[in-house]
């Protein structure tokens, strides 16, 4: 493939076929025109829920990415006026062949070297084209939730700032990459759910300054040891809403930018300018069942999906001129500057060389620039580099070295990773709102119901008393009437009877006086007739009376039946009331059920948060010692929970749960018949047990000597630490016993996992450790360790045993009941999280043993060696997972402390590992410990000389 006049350079040492450049048939090197397609499998919002099981969050198995090589374009600046004159008689030192993406660098008049790039941009290439081939694919990746870097490298005056930073206000076609990238970003984000913010910085003489706020000098870089993400918490961050405000910011930054004049170009800069654009986008999770308010569905929480947030970061770097500094030679503190500028740039060159050659050591920590760009080269970002060159043969040397830099960068392979996470805060907020709504709705219904019952009751009472009153009045009236009529008729009858009597007596007298015989007959006739008349009159009257009486009686009967009727209706009203009361009780029952479901819902939410935080919880003491900054932030969480939304929300939720359900009730649910209920109850207890975690950490680390600020600790103690932790409450209420019983009696894997997790959390305190041992916990945990298959269960069990291993008093018993064998047995699972816990347990145990032997209370060989731990730890001492490796390294150092173990360690191959640790271990304290042990122990000394180890 070598051309007639030169050597064909790149592609020869490529690491894989993807970076092979000289095979035309493959055509692999065009800038990926459509990253959306190539990343589809990772970036669809729907399938983006690939971390559907919360337990997989933050675990290593999700860390696979998409391979993406660093792409490099070369751009040639047109001759400037000076060159037109000075170089008029000379040809350009380069010749571009854009169709075949090659560049020829002239050696002399008859010989040249040829290089191939991903893109070759001639002096005629427009700013638009440069943006489209260099930056647009990167910007699109950032919009999809990946990190991206666009960087310009080249000699001062070759057009780096022209390419990246032109604002193009007078001539929009001249706009550079920064402005065009922001245009594309703003066009694509949603103003409601997404946010765009920028920081603009300058790195000059190993000091990072804030270009948005010149008073803000010397900003420090913070690295997240877990994710490897770098951030600059001290830098100002400006929220961008429109293009105008962004251009305004760039102008402001440019005004602040330190630019030292050089001989080559008055506008050139010796500082590195770094623009960081953070794009945060939110995608809705599926939660249709929750929002449809089905209320009584106990499984409603199962389809609950929190929204997903994707955070892409675009970094645009305008590097300082790549020329050797003596050439630009201006006065002042140039020499100092030269050193510093060379420091960052040469460190960048070294890193890229190391990455290109696939070397095991990449000196990232050598400069601030390389620390800032760790994700851009060999990291998880999509990276595009534009190298700028000038045409002048006078600068052929610089041009050649720029080209070589670009060639090496093309060999750097990145692994693109999606930066997405669940938005727990908004899920929790939504759940809270839902909960409030349910409670309010329920209260409203109950109130309405009570009112209704009250109304019906008063109405019925009123009706009854009204009827009774009218009835009594009517009855009395009727009685009086009848009585009166009766009396009157009696009186009349008496009068009549009297009158008749008198008449009789009078007639007899008169007859005696008058003609007795004649008159008597006629008188007798008359009176008889009159009597007869009177009698019949009386008879009718009597009949009338009888009728009246009958009518009265009927009236009375009618009233009586009316009364009975009323009584009946009263009884039915009463039964209505009791029915309503029954209904009310049912409602209360329903409410209780609803509350139970709300509790389950909350426990699930807590479970999600709990497991998401698990990585943090797994972090052990060693890590904190190594990274005190992180402990600071953790302490801050403990100290200022009000500043921490999610922490606060979780605490509040647990408190609410406590209030609503009560610990006793939760513990009693551990024995519920329904497996689902039991599982949720265990989860709630696990969460409650985990809540004490920060307290335990606090007690562990907040000794004045460790933290050094007495006042701070007093604040912690007085304000935010509860007087009695949930853990204590759980243990007091017999929760530990119930959890252990669940390990024994339940067959359900989930219950095993969550119960073991809760026990692991409880096992962080010394008192609980003793209780767990006394209640036969180690046997139960060993039993579970032997039977479980789910790595998460094993991780919890191993974590619990590992905690117990750290208690000096329990060593013999723990070993005697098979704890160490059980721990070792779990390595069969092979999951790195489980192995890390096993390693931690062994390290804890070894530490206690070494303490005991130092104090002279133990003289025999290590129980760990007795139980056959040595082969496994030797085999894994250099495990690639750092938590496993670190614990084992510690364990080996502790075992080696005691001379009685030395022979076994040498024959088991541990000596090699100790030597390695003393030389290579990244932790200085472990390294020193290993070194001291090796130099002090005569057995090891002898072993090393026997094995020919030169120490
Ligand atoms: P650097 O940032 O690499 O030091 P500059 O971007 O400041 O270089 O460019 C130096 C000079 O060259 C500026 O005057 C700029 O306008 C000019 N220049 C650079 N690239 C081009 C180009 N592609 N077309 C026209 N002029 C250019
Ligand atoms: Mg510049």
Non-local CB neighbours of 293 within 8 Å, separated by 6+ positions: none
Whether residue 243 is predicted with pLDDT greater than 70 in this model: the reply is yes
Model pLDDT, residue 951: 76
Distance 206 CA to ligand 1 centre (A): 25
Long-range contacts of 614-622 (CB under 8 A, 24+ apart): 614/55, 614/57, 614/58, 615/57, 615/58, 615/59, 615/226, 617/690, 617/693, 618/799, 618/833, 618/836, 618/837, 618/883, 620/840, 621/700, 621/701, 622/886, 622/887, 622/890, 622/923
Closest CA to 559 of 474, 460, 479: 474
Model pLDDT, residue 720: 39
The residue among 79 and 519 whose pLDDT is bigger is 79
Query: For the ranges 3-12, 153-162, 176-185, which has the lowest average pLDDT?
Result: 3-12
Whether residue 54 is predicted with pLDDT greater than 50 in this model: the reply is no
Mean local confidence (pLDDT), 938-943: 90
Mean local confidence (pLDDT), 771-792: 91
The residue among 391 and 297 whose pLDDT is bigger is 391
With a 6 Å cutoff on the Cβ, whether 82 touches ligand 1 is no
Non-local CB neighbours of 850 within 8 Å, separated by 6+ positions: 894, 895, 897, 898
Lookup result for tokens 């003793």: 770
Contact 168, 180 (CB under 8 A): no
Model pLDDT, residue 304: 65
> Would you place residue 269 in the very low, low, confident or very high pLDDT band (cuts 50, 70, 90)?
low
Q: Kindly report the backbone phi and psi dihedral angles of residue 12, in degrees, each rounded to the nearest multiple of 5, phi listed first.
A: -75, -35
Strands, E assignment, 420-565: 420-422
Ligand nearest to the CA of 265: 1
Mean local confidence (pLDDT), 221-245: 91
Model pLDDT, residue 698: 37
Non-local CB neighbours of 226 within 8 Å, separated by 6+ positions: 58, 615
With a 6 Å cutoff on the Cβ, whether 159 touches ligand 1 is yes
Query: For the ranges 279-288, 612-621, 687-696, 869-878, which has the lowest average pLDDT?
Result: 612-621
Environment class of residue 123 by beta-carbon count within 10 Å: exposed (0-12), middle (13-18) or buried (19+)? middle
Closest CA to 111 of 4, 24, 1: 4
> Would you place residue 105 in the very low, low, confident or very high pLDDT band (cuts 50, 70, 90)?
very high
Ligand 1: atom nearest CA of 127 is 23
Eight-class DSSP state of 34: -
Ligand nearest to the CA of 123: 1
Whether residue 43 is predicted with pLDDT greater than 70 in this model: the reply is no
Whether residue 313 is predicted with pLDDT greater than 80 in this model: the reply is yes
Q: Is 379 annotated as a binding residue?
A: no
Q: Is 349 annotated as a binding residue?
A: no
Ligand 1: atom nearest CA of 264 is 4
With a 6 Å cutoff on the Cβ, whether 388 touches ligand 1 is yes
Mean local confidence (pLDDT), 567-586: 88
Integer angstrom CA distances of residue 694 from 153, 397, 507, 612, 650: 47, 60, 129, 15, 13
Whether residue 518 is predicted with pLDDT greater than 60 in this model: the reply is no
Mean local confidence (pLDDT), 47-73: 53
Integer angstrom CA distances of residue 205 from 236, 255, 339, 340: 20, 19, 8, 5
Mean pLDDT score of the chain, rounded to an integer? 78
CA 577 to chain centre: 51
Residue nearest to atom 5 of ligand 1 (CA): 159
In 103-215, which residue ranges form alpha helices assigned H by DSSP?
127-130, 136-143, 160-165, 177-188
Distance 131 CA to ligand 1 centre (A): 15
Q: Kindly report the backbone phi and psi dihedral angles of residue 281, in degrees, each rounded to the nearest multiple of 5, phi listed first.
A: -125, 150
Whether residue 57 is predicted with pLDDT greater than 80 in this model: the reply is no
With a 6 Å cutoff on the Cβ, whether 165 touches ligand 1 is no
β-strand partners of 253 = none
Q: Kindly report the backbone phi and psi dihedral angles of residue 421, in degrees, each rounded to the nearest multiple of 5, phi listed first.
A: -150, 160
Contact 804, 814 (CB under 8 A): yes
Residue nearest to atom 17 of ligand 1 (CA): 159
Model pLDDT, residue 216: 84
Output the DSSP codes for 392-417.
-GGGHHHHHHHHHHHHHHTT-EEEE-
With a 6 Å cutoff on the Cβ, whether 122 touches ligand 1 is no
Distance 390 CA to ligand 1 centre (A): 9
Mutate to test the pocket of ligand 1, among 82, 134, 157, 341 (most ligand atoms within 8 A of CB): 157
Contact 69, 410 (CB under 8 A): yes
The residue among 745 and 1 whose pLDDT is bigger is 745
Whether residue 39 is predicted with pLDDT greater than 60 in this model: the reply is no
Mean local confidence (pLDDT), 748-774: 88
Distance 258 CA to ligand 2 centre (A): 11
In 15-70, which residue ranges form alpha helices assigned H by DSSP?
35-38, 40-43
Model pLDDT, residue 600: 67
With a 6 Å cutoff on the Cβ, whether 246 touches ligand 1 is no
Element spanning 486, H or E: helix 424-513
Ligand 1: atom nearest CA of 163 is 6
Model pLDDT, residue 488: 93
> Would you place residue 21 in the very low, low, confident or very high pLDDT band (cuts 50, 70, 90)?
very low
What dihedral angle (degrees, nearest 10) is formed by the CA atoms of 565, 567, 573, 574? Answer: -150
Model pLDDT, residue 713: 31
C-alpha span between 669 and 896 (Å, rounded): 48
With a 6 Å cutoff on the Cβ, whether 162 touches ligand 1 is yes
pLDDT digits (tens, 9 = 90+) for 319-375: 988 887 654 445 455 566 566 667 899 899 999 999 999 999 999 999 999 999 999
> In percent, how much of the chain has pLDDT > 70?
75
Integer angstrom CA distances of residue 406 from 75, 103, 120, 228, 282: 11, 12, 12, 25, 36
Mean local confidence (pLDDT), 262-276: 64
With a 6 Å cutoff on the Cβ, whether 161 touches ligand 1 is yes
Model pLDDT, residue 806: 92
Q: Is 383 annotated as a binding residue?
A: no
Tokens describing residue 716:
């912690």
> Would you place residue 533 in the very low, low, confident or very high pLDDT band (cuts 50, 70, 90)?
confident
C-alpha span between 798 and 822 (Å, rounded): 9
Q: Is 157 annotated as a binding residue?
A: yes
Model pLDDT, residue 627: 35
Model pLDDT, residue 410: 97
C-alpha span between 201 and 258 (Å, rounded): 11
Q: Is 160 annotated as a binding residue?
A: yes
pLDDT digits (tens, 9 = 90+) for 840-855: 999 999 999 988 888 8
Strand, coil or helix: 111:
strand
Ligand 1: atom nearest CA of 268 is 4
Tokens describing residue 465:
């008393």
Q: Is 215 annotated as a binding residue?
A: no
Tokens describing residue 521:
């007959």
Lookup result for tokens 């992180």: 630
Query: For the ranges 150-159, 599-608, 825-834, which has the lowest average pLDDT?
Result: 599-608
Mean local confidence (pLDDT), 525-551: 82
Contact 67, 415 (CB under 8 A): yes
Contact 798, 825 (CB under 8 A): no
Integer angstrom CA distances of residue 97 from 6, 91, 122, 178: 15, 16, 9, 27
pTM of the entire predicted model? 0.46
With a 6 Å cutoff on the Cβ, whether 160 touches ligand 1 is yes
With a 6 Å cutoff on the Cβ, whether 937 touches ligand 1 is no
Model pLDDT, residue 862: 92
pLDDT digits (tens, 9 = 90+) for 599-642: 666 666 656 555 555 544 444 333 333 333 333 333 333 333 33
Mutate to test the pocket of ligand 1, among 123, 154, 160, 162 (most ligand atoms within 8 A of CB): 162
Tokens describing residue 180:
């065009």
Closest CA to 548 of 619, 463, 487, 636: 487
Residue nearest to atom 11 of ligand 1 (CA): 157
Mean local confidence (pLDDT), 429-458: 90
Lookup result for tokens 């024995």: 671
Distance 162 CA to ligand 1 centre (A): 5
C-alpha span between 605 and 650 (Å, rounded): 9
Ligand 1: atom nearest CA of 125 is 23
Contact 877, 842 (CB under 8 A): no
Mutate to test the pocket of ligand 1, among 73, 74, 76, 77 (most ligand atoms within 8 A of CB): 77
Distance 183 CA to ligand 1 centre (A): 22
Ligand 1: atom nearest CA of 156 is 4
Q: Is 941 annotated as a binding residue?
A: no
Ligand 1: atom nearest CA of 269 is 4
Residue nearest to atom 19 of ligand 1 (CA): 159
Mutate to test the pocket of ligand 1, among 79, 80, 159 (most ligand atoms within 8 A of CB): 159
With a 6 Å cutoff on the Cβ, whether 844 touches ligand 1 is no
Whether residue 96 is predicted with pLDDT greater than 70 in this model: the reply is yes
C-alpha span between 876 and 842 (Å, rounded): 12
Mean local confidence (pLDDT), 9-21: 35
β-strand partners of 774 = none
β-strand partners of 75 = 121, 388
Residue nearest to atom 23 of ligand 1 (CA): 77
The residue among 722 and 574 whose pLDDT is bigger is 574
Model pLDDT, residue 186: 97
Model pLDDT, residue 36: 38
Model pLDDT, residue 335: 64
> Would you place residue 422 in the very low, low, confident or very high pLDDT band (cuts 50, 70, 90)?
confident
Non-local CB neighbours of 83 within 8 Å, separated by 6+ positions: 390, 391, 392
C-alpha span between 688 and 599 (Å, rounded): 13
Element spanning 72, H or E: strand 71-76
In 908-937, which residue ranges form alpha helices assigned H by DSSP?
910-920, 924-936
Pairing of strands 238-239, 195-204: antiparallel
Model pLDDT, residue 522: 56
Environment class of residue 84 by beta-carbon count within 10 Å: exposed (0-12), middle (13-18) or buried (19+)? exposed
Closest CA to 599 of 688, 731, 722, 695: 688
Model pLDDT, residue 660: 52
Mean local confidence (pLDDT), 547-561: 88
Query: For the ranges 7-21, 76-90, 251-265, which has the lowest average pLDDT?
Result: 7-21
β-strand partners of 72 = 385
With a 6 Å cutoff on the Cβ, whether 482 touches ligand 1 is no
Whether residue 897 is predicted with pLDDT greater than 70 in this model: the reply is yes
Pairing of strands 230-231, 222-223: antiparallel
Q: Is 159 annotated as a binding residue?
A: yes
> In percent, how much of the chain has pLDDT > 90?
43
């Amino acid at each position: 493939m070598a051309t007639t006049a030169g050597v064909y350079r790149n592609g020869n040492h490529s690491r894989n076929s993807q970076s092979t450049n000289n095979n035309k048939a493959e055509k692999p090197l065009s800038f990926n025109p459509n990253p959306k397609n190539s990343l589809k499998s990772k970036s669809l919002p729907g399938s983006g829920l690939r971390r559907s099981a919360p337990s997989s969050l933050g675990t290593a198995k999700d860390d696979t990415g998409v391979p993406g090589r660093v792409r490099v374009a070369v751009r040639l600046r047109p001759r400037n006026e000076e060159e037109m004159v000075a170089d008029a008689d000379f040809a350009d030192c380069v010749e571009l062949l854009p169709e075949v993406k090659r560049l020829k660098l002239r050696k002399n008049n008859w010989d040249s070297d040829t290089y191939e790039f991903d893109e070759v941009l001639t002096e005629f290439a427009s700013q638009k084209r440069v943006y489209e081939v260099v930056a647009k694919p990167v910007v699109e990746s950032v919009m999809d939730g990946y990190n991206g870097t666009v960087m310009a490298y080249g000699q001062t005056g070759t057009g780096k700032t022209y390419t990246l930073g032109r604002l193009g206000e007078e001539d929009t076609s001249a706009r550079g990459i920064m402005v065009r990238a922001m245009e594309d970003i703003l066009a694509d984000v949603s103003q409601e759910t997404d946010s765009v913010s920028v920081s603009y910085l300058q790195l000059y003489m190993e000091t990072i300054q804030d270009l948005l706020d010149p008073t803000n000098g010397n900003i420090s870089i913070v690295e997240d040891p877990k994710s490897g993400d770098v951030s600059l918490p001290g830098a100002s961050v400006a929220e961008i809403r429109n293009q105008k405000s962004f251009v305004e910011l760039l102008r402001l930054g440019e005004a602040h930018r330190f630019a030292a004049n050089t001989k080559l170009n008055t506008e050139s800069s010796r500082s590195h300018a770094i623009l960081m654009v953070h794009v945060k986008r939110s995608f809705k999770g599926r939660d249709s069942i929750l929002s449809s308010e089905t209320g009584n569905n106990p499984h409603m929480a199962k389809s609950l999906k929190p929204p997903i947030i994707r955070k892409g970061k675009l970094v645009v770097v305008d590097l300082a001129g790549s020329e050797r500094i003596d050439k630009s030679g201006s006065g002042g503190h140039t020499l100092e500057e030269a050193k510093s500028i060379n420091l960052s740039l040469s460190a960048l060159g070294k890193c890229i060389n190391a990455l290109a050659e696939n070397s095991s050591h990449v000196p990232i920590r050598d400069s601030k620039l390389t620390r800032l760009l760790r994700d851009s080269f060999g990291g998880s970002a999509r990276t595009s580099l534009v190298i700028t060159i000038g045409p002048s043969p006078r600068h052929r040397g610089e041009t050649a070295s720029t080209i070589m830099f670009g060639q090496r960068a093309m060999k750097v392979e990145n692994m693109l990773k999606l930066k997405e996470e669940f938005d727990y805060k908004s899920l929790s907020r939504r759940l809270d709102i839902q909960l409030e709504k349910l409670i309010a709705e329920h209260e409203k219904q109950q109130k309405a119901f009570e009112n209704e019952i009250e109304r019906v009751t008063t109405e019925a009472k009123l009706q009854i008393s009204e009827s009774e009153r009218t009835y009594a009045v009517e009855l009395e009236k009727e009685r009086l009437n009848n009585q009166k009529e009766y009396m009157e008729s009696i009186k009349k009858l008496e009068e009549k009877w009297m009158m008749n009597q008198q008449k009789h007596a009078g007639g007899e007298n008169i007859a005696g006086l008058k003609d007795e015989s004649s008159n008597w007959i006629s008188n007798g006739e008359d009176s008889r007739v009159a009597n007869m008349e009177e009698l019949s009159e009386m008879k009718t009257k009597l009949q009338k009376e009888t009728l009246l009486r009958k009518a009265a009686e009927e009236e009375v009967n009618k009233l009586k039946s009316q009364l009975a009727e009323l009584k009946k209706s009263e009884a039915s009203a009463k039964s209505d009331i009791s029915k309503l009361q029954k209904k009310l009780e049912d409602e209360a029952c329903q409410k209780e059920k609803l509350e139970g479901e709300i509790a389950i819902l909350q426990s699930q939410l807590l479970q999600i948060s709990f497991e998401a935080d698990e990585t943090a919880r797994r972090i052990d003491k060693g890590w904190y010692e190594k990274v005190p900054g992180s402990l600071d932030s953790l302490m801050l969480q403990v100290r200022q929970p009000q500043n921490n939304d999610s922490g606060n929300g979780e605490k509040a939720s647990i408190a609410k749960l406590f209030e609503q359900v009560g610990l006793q009730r939760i513990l009693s649910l551990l024995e519920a018949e329904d497996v689902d209920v039991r599982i949720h109850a265990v989860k709630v207890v696990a969460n409650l047990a985990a809540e004490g975690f920060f307290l335990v950490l606090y007690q562990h680390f907040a000794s004045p000597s460790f933290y050094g600020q007495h006042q701070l600790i007093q604040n912690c103690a007085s304000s935010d630490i509860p007087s009695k932790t949930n853990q204590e409450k759980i243990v007091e209420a017999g929760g530990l016993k119930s959890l252990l019983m669940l390990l024994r009696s339940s067959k359900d894997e989930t219950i095993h996992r969550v119960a073991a997790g809760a026990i692991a959390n409880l096992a962080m305190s010394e008192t609980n450790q003793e209780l767990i041992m006394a209640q036969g916990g180690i046997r139960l945990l060993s039993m579970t360790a032997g039977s479980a298959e789910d790595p998460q269960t094993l991780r919890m069990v191993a974590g619990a045993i590992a905690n117990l291993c750290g208690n000096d008093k329990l060593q013999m018993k723990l070993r005697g009941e098979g704890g160490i064998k059980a721990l070792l047995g779990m390595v069969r699972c092979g999951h790195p999280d489980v192995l890390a816990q096993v390693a931690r347990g062994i390290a804890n145990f070894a530490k206690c043993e070494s303490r005991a032997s130092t104090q002279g209370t133990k003289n025999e060989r290590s129980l760990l060696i007795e139980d056959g731990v040595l082969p496994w730890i030797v085999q894994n001492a250099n495990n690639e997972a750092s938590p496993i490796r670190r614990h084992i390294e510690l364990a080996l150092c502790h075992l080696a402390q005691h001379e009685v173990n030395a022979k076994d360690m040498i024959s088991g191959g541990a000596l090699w590992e100790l030597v390695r640790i003393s030389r290579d271990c990244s932790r200085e304290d472990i390294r020193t410990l290993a070194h001291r042990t090796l130099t002090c122990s005569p057995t090891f000394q002898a072993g090393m000389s026997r094995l020919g180890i030169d120490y």
